[in-house]
Amino acid sequence: MARSRNARAQRKRSALGSVIELVVTVAVAVGVAILIQALLVKPYRIPSSSMEPTLTIDQRVLVNRLDTKPSLGDIVVFHPPHGADPIEPVCGSPSEGNGHSEACDVHTPTPSKTTYIKRVVGLPGDRLSIDDGHVIRNGKPEHDAYIRPCGSDESCNFPKTFTVPPGEYFMMGDNRGVSDDSRFWGPVPQRWIIGVAFFTYWPLGRFGTL
């Protein structure tokens, strides 16, 4: 009889140990997932049509938070200058307002709290102008089969050449006719870049690398 009670007690302790082990395992897994998201990889939802046709509204992407020094053509998530916040964007250059002959080449001094996702079309030191939505970089047109054409909007043409400042990146949306981007509020300092988007996982029909 005593042996039977001891066996039952051992089974209860074993079951309790299994439950505790499961709880600890789940807690560790959740902690690791949170740590990975906070430090390494973070998901983002596409909020607008500014990156069409490459990225559509509500599409989900993963961003490498360790990669904050993007290459030309990378799609990046970043904080724009606070000049991007008003309905009418604000350029940090006092000469802005030159009849749209030159894109904004100076950002306002502090970042916005919002996040944007755009493509890098100009690296530090690049000389840029914009013709019908196409970037002319260092005298050569960009290879831009991925863009949606600009249309007849005057914001599609900035013929005067400007230079991207050191340590900063010029961002534009692939949907050139509707994108709110560096053309209007200036280049983005590297320290405001959150990371490079490298994978899309939703919708399933677009599953794959970027």
Q: Pairing mode, if any, of strands 140-141 and 41-45?
A: unpaired
pLDDT band at residue 102 using 50, 70 and 90 as cut-offs? confident
pLDDT (mean) for 14-20:
61
pLDDT band at residue 30 using 50, 70 and 90 as cut-offs? very low
- At residue 17, the pLDDT reads 56
Residues marked as catalytic = 50, 118
Answer yes or no: are the C-beta atoms of 186 and 91 closer than 8 Å.
yes
Which token pair is 3?
Answer: 């042996």
Lookup result for tokens 């039952």: 8
pLDDT band at residue 98 using 50, 70 and 90 as cut-offs? very low
Number of helices (H) and strands (E) in the chain: give both, helices first. Answer: 2, 12
pLDDT band at residue 28 using 50, 70 and 90 as cut-offs? very low
Q: Report the mean per-residue pLDDT for the chain.
A: 86
Answer yes or no: are the C-beta atoms of 92 and 108 closer than 8 Å.
yes
DSSP reduced 3-state for 128: strand
**Segment 34-78, tens digit of pLDDT:** 445 555 899 999 999 999 999 999 999 999 999 999 999 999 999
Which has the closest alpha carbon to 114: 55, 165, 50, 56? 50
Other CB atoms within 10 Å distance of the CB of residue 137 = 18
**C-alpha 29: how far from chain center:** 27
| Cβ-Cβ contacts under 8 Å for 159 (sequence gap 6 or more) | 101, 129, 130, 131
